[in-house]
């Protein structure tokens, strides 16, 4: 007679298997498998070092999994001379990868926030974008994550994030439509509730009211 399946044990075993990070050798073997599946020979001279190169590239492309984005926002400054206007950092270039096809997403992020009583160094805003970009992503989620993290850590009067990007999963495969740009937004606090504050931000990033005050674009 078959033993009954313990669903809790089965789930725990599956979770443990997922959480175990493969070794570098296992990752390189996976690349060799994909090369063979594509129809080539991973043992030929031109491809011998490719698995190692791909794994090193993955370490760089997905380094965001090793960082806590909140760490970059911990150091803030309260000596602002009474500054109480919107802070905007625009055109933060990023490179990410689509979680559906592992294809590149290349674009830029514009960030704005209205400080309550403290500001953060502008380089830290760029670092924040990098952490989330260097993970498997969809653009909508990345936009929301950046805004939510800023809002939770700095607790400003409001946060605005707009992302513009091209997706290689759309331009190099499937529908093959180059030149298409996707725009997503997340407006929180005063940027969502007050049209004049939202328009000030959009004007600063050169969008002139093209994004409305909904939670996400």
**What are the strands, taking DSSP E only, across the chain?**
76-77, 87-98, 104-114, 119-120, 136-137, 158-167, 182-189
Distance CA 111, CA 107 (A): 13
Q: Which residues pair with 89 in a beta bridge?
A: 111
Tell me, yes or no, if 167 is annotated catalytic: yes
Tell me, yes or no, if 99 is annotated catalytic: yes
Tell me, yes or no, if 149 is annotated catalytic: no
The DSSP symbol for 126 reads H
CA neighbor of 107 nearest in space, from 77, 57, 142: 142
139, 145, 157, 200: the active-site residue: 139
Tell me, yes or no, if 97 is annotated catalytic: no
Distance CA 213, CA 200 (A): 12
CA neighbor of 89 nearest in space, from 53, 128, 48, 139: 128
DSSP codes of every residue in 47-98: GTTHHHHHHHHHHHHTGGGG--GGGGGS-EE---TT--S-EEEEEEEEEEEE
164, 168, 169, 199: the active-site residue: 169
- Position of tokens 């919107």? 86
130, 157, 167, 200: the active-site residue: 167
101, 164, 168, 199: the active-site residue: 101
26, 43, 59, 100: the active-site residue: 100
Tell me, yes or no, if 199 is annotated catalytic: no
99, 140, 168, 199: the active-site residue: 99
Active site residue ranges:
98-101, 139, 167, 169
């Amino acid at each position: 007679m078959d033993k009954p399946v313990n669903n809790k044990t089965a789930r725990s075993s599956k979770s443990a298997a997922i959480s175990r990070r493969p070794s570098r050798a296992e990752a390189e073997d996976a690349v060799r498998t994909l090369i063979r599946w594509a129809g080539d020979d991973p043992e030929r001279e031109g491809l011998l070092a490719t698995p190692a190169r791909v794994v090193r590239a993955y370490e760089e492309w997905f380094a965001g999994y090793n960082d806590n984005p909140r760490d970059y926002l911990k150091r803030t400054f309260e000596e602002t001379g009474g500054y109480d206007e919107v802070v905007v950092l625009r055109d933060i270039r990023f490179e990410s990868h689509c979680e559906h096809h592992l294809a590149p997403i290349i674009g830029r992020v514009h960030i704005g926030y209205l400080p309550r009583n403290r500001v953060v160094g502008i380089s830290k805003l760029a670092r924040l974008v990098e952490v989330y970009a260097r993970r498997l992503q969809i653009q909508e989620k990345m936009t929301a994550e950046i805004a939510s993290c800023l809002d939770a850590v700095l607790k400003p009067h409001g946060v605005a994030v707009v992302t513009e990007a091209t997706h290689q999963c759309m331009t190099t495969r499937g529908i093959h439509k180059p030149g298409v740009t996707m725009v997503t937004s997340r407006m929180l606090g005063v940027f969502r509730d007050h049209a004049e504050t939202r328009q000030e931000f959009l004007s600063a990033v050169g969008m002139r009211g093209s994004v409305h005050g909904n939670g996400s674009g």
